[in-house]
Amino acid sequence: MGECNDGKCGESQGCGCGQQSCNCGAQSSASQDCGCGQQNCNCSQGCGTQACGQEYDKFMWMLHLAKKAKKELIKEKIKKKLDAEHGKKFDEIASLLVEALDLIKKDEKNAEKNIEEMRAKFYSILEK
């Protein structure tokens, strides 16, 4: 994993659990953790990888993977439910949007008119 150079991990090297965007010692935003769910990529704390001289903690890494897998599984189940219940409608919407993109690109002079027509079609599909 990453290695500390002058207190910061290089851009191509991760800090914590292989994350590429956190500098060692930098606080991350709430929406982006620094690996293993930690909000602080401080080299002295790390999250258990060998980054920044820390020992590798397999349990914490596996726990992190389990949490990530749980989120992915829930997301996949939601997708299946949505597809089963609304798949035909979503297919129609996808087709309409591709058609709209093509029409706008081909006829740039009438783009606003075409967008309004496609918008009306879009909302009529939603109301079904």
| Mean pLDDT in order along the chain per 10 residues (128 residues) | 42 45 42 48 49 72 96 98 96 96 92 93 93
> What contacts 107, CB < 8 A, 6 or more positions away?
114
Domain ends where: 27, 56, 85?
A: 56
Residue at a domain's end among 56, 82, 99: 56
Residues 90 and 126 in one domain: yes
pLDDT score, position 55: 67
My answer on whether 34 and 81 are in the same domain is: no
Ramachandran assignment for 85, one of left (phi > 0), alpha (psi -120 to 50 degrees), beta (any other)? alpha
Domain count, the chain: 2
* Domain membership flag for residue 64: no
| 103 belongs to a structural domain | yes
Residues 80 and 128 grouped into a single domain? yes
- For the entire predicted model, the pTM comes to 0.48
Question: Would you say residue 114 lies in a domain?
Answer: yes
At 85, list the tokens: 């219940």
Q: Tell me how many degrees the CA angle 123-126-128 measures, rounded to the nearest 5.
A: 115
Residue 50's domain spans which residues? 1-56
Q: How far apart are CA 117 and CA 102, in angstroms?
A: 14
Residue 13 lies in a domain: yes
Cα 100 to Cα 120: distance, rounded to the nearest angstrom: 12
* 60's tokens: 């914490």
Residue 63 within a domain? no
Q: DSSP state, 12?
A: T
pLDDT for 92 equals 96
**What pLDDT shows up at residue 45?**
44
The answer to whether 47 and 38 have CB atoms below 8 angstroms apart is yes
**Do 38 and 79 reside in the same domain of the chain?**
no
Q: Are residues 124 and 83 in the same domain?
A: yes
Instruction: Please indicate, yes or no, if residue 65 is contained in any of the structural domains.
Output: no
